[in-house]
Amino acid sequence: MRVTKTKKLFLYSLYVIFAGSFFIYYLFPSDTVREYLESKLNIPGSEFNISIAQVKPHFPPGLNLKTVGVFHKNTLLFDGSTWSPSPNFTSTRPWSMNSVMIENIFLLGAFP
C-alpha cells in the first residue's frame, strides 16, 4: 500500500491538531488565568468582589470557572458551582451576556 503525498500531509496535519489540542488542555495555565480574571473583575474601590476557585479550558472554545463567588462588602451574594463563559461567534459582541451559561446559581443574599 502506497501512501500519497496528500494522505501523508493529511495524517501529519491531523496528528499536529490532536497533539496540540492535548497539550493546550494538559498544560493550561489555570492559576495564571484565574489570577488574571480576578484582578480584572475585582475593580479597586468597588464594593463587589469575585472569587474563582478553579479555571479549566472548555470545548468548544471557552472556560469553565468552578466555584465562583460574588461578594458585596464581604457578604456572599451568589455562589455558583460552574460558570462557563464562551464566545458567541455569530454575534457582533462575541462575549455578550447572552453567550454566558450559568449553572447552579443560588441567591444567598439580597441586594441592598
Sequence-distant (6+) residues with CB within 8 A of 24 are: 57
Domain boundaries, the chain: 29-107
pLDDT at 1 over 80: no
Residue with cell 439580597: 110
pLDDT at 110 over 70: no
C-alpha cell at 51: 472569587
Please give the helix or strand (H or E) that residue 80 lies within, else none: strand 75-85
* 38 or 9, which is more confident: 9
Q: Per-residue pLDDT tens for 44-78? A: 877 888 888 888 888 777 888 888 888 888 888 87
